[in-house]
Amino acid sequence: MTGDSSQSPPSGDRRGLIAFSWLWVGIPLGYGLYELVRKATQLFTG
């Protein structure tokens, strides 16, 4: 199938969007995991 662009590698704009999306989800996720561990240690250590 020539002309099928669905299998082409991501362009520069797409890579930027993917990186931004990972950061948009990853930063709050990382912060939430940090808070979870911090509060769990407080719970179990007194």
pLDDT in tens, 17-29: 999 999 999 999 9
Residue 10: partners with Cβ closer than 8 Å, 6 or more residues away? 18
- The chain-wide mean pLDDT, for the chain, equals 86
- Let me know the angle formed at the C-alpha of 13 by 1 and 30, rounded to the nearest 5 degrees: 115
Half-sphere exposure for 24 (CA within 13 Å, toward CB): 6
Q: What single letter denotes the amino acid at residue 36?
A: L
Mean pLDDT across the stretch 3-21?
77
Residues of the chain with pLDDT > 70: what percent? 78
User: Which residue would you say has higher pLDDT here, 31 or 8?
Assistant: 31
Contact between 18 and 10 under an 8 Å Cβ cutoff? The reply is yes
Query: What pLDDT shows up at residue 42?
Result: 94
The whole-angstrom separation of Cα 36 and Cα 8 is 40
